[in-house]
Amino acid sequence: MAALQTGFKAHTERAPPDAGYEARVRASFDRQNAMRLIGAQLTRIAPGACTIELPFRDDLTQQHGYIHAGIVSLIADSAGGYAGFTLFPADASVLTVEYKLNLIAPAAGERLIAEASVVKPGKTLVITRGEVYAERTGVRTLCAIMQQTLIIMAGKPDR
């Protein structure tokens, strides 16, 4: 994943412990009913990085016509979770422990793009950062930034 606007990069100093990380991430994403419900798509996976895109839909908006903050939060959280999950062992699953999301511009555009990367991998906890962009006619506007803590649930494979 190329450096995001804020300058942080995907954690790629080491190879993922599971060579089949991409298939495992895609299979997990496909089981997420929430992603299917809102029409989100997993568009990029790399060691320590993930991108999720969401086309604009009127039924996902709030009273001003912007994509609802809960939906912005949903794709940011999932992008961060899957960025971390790429570096997990094959017999582990992922859960979010906490995240902080700052909404800095309205989520208004033809689609939203959530990009996340691992800041610090660990044996139990993983820290990620993410950005959500609203894209209109090819121009991206940063609308949210996130910091997240994930827990590696060792010995509990993703179902």
Domain boundaries, the chain: 21-154
Tokens of 140: 């991206």
**pLDDT surpassing 90 at residue 41:** yes
- pLDDT tens by residue, 89-145: 999 999 999 999 999 999 999 999 999 999 999 999 999 999 999 999 999 999 999
* Top-tier CATH class for 21-154: alpha beta
The pLDDT of residue 155 is 84
Is residue 43 pLDDT above 50, yes or no? yes
Q: What is the pTM of this model?
A: 0.91
Burial of 108 from C-beta contacts in 10 A (0-12 / 13-18 / 19+): middle
What pLDDT score does 136 carry? 96
